[in-house]
Amino acid sequence: TPTNILLLSLAVSDFLVGLLLMPANAVKRTHCWLFGDLLCSLYRFVINIILSASVVNMVLISVDRYLAIFDPLHYTTRITVNRVRVCVCLLWFCSVASNSYYFNLLLIQQQENTSYCYGDCLVLLHEVSAYLELVLNLIVPVTAIIVLYTRVFVVAVSQARAMRSHITAVTKQISVTKTAKKSELKAARTLGVLVVVFLICFMPNYFASMGGIDYMSYSTLAFILYLYYFNSCLNPVIYALFYPWFRKAVKLIVTLQILQPGSCEANIL
């Protein structure tokens, strides 16, 4: 389905954070960088590609959910599998293209950077680049996610109230009212968790890059960076584990029931 393709793209970007970025950063934090200037620049280049792709994936998922709730009658005709595949390909292409200037900038910096030791692998962003990264990777995505999910919440509440207005029997109305209130609370809770987690993980890193690095200890900077990466660990919890079918599928995999004959016919819906 279109939604699952977006979740797959998000899963790939989050998986790459754990597979490539965290081990490389652990080596960088515990040992001197011994892989040369080229790999240092490439490492920073890949960081920006993967993290920006992860953020844009979250925005696209917000757009997908917004269209599914706001215009459900035309959703299946407008949001097709092929269109979503094209969007995902464009997403990764634009992430590479938009961060390509970083690679040249980092190579120049590594060649000109003679005041630091060979193994530092430092990146010194210009003030304009830092503000541009703040706007593109934090302010714009956060604003889009908040606006879209707020609209989703408002539409979900109005639909729940419309359902209640059509119920005449008292017993049924009580049941529907409780169900509607639960759905409203769940939607509000999901929205709150989504935005709060995103802000907690991303904001300290950008505040540090805006000029507070000189006043922070080495351990504080390491904590801020790993908190930034930790958002990729929380994304599966926020975007997937809320689905009952996903939890059932994970249970089948973890308990190895997927290896049993006839497991493909298991009902997870």
- 10-residue mean pLDDT series, the chain (269 residues): 88 90 79 74 83 88 84 84 93 86 59 52 63 77 84 76 62 50 60 78 76 66 83 82 80 87 79
CA distance 255 to 165: 44
Position 52 scores a pLDDT of 86
Position 84 scores a pLDDT of 93
> Are the CB atoms for 40 and 119 separated by under 8 Å?
no
Q: Determine the longest span between alpha carbons in the chain, in angstroms.
A: 79
CA distance 227 to 10: 18
- Pull the structure tokens for residue 202: 């991303």
Position 249 scores a pLDDT of 84
Position 216 scores a pLDDT of 66
CA distance 198 to 195: 5
Homologous superfamily (CATH) for 2-265:
Rhodopsin 7-helix transmembrane proteins (1.20.1070.10)
pTM exceeds 0.85: no
Position 221 scores a pLDDT of 77
Compute the C-alpha angle 193/73/88, nearest 5°: 55
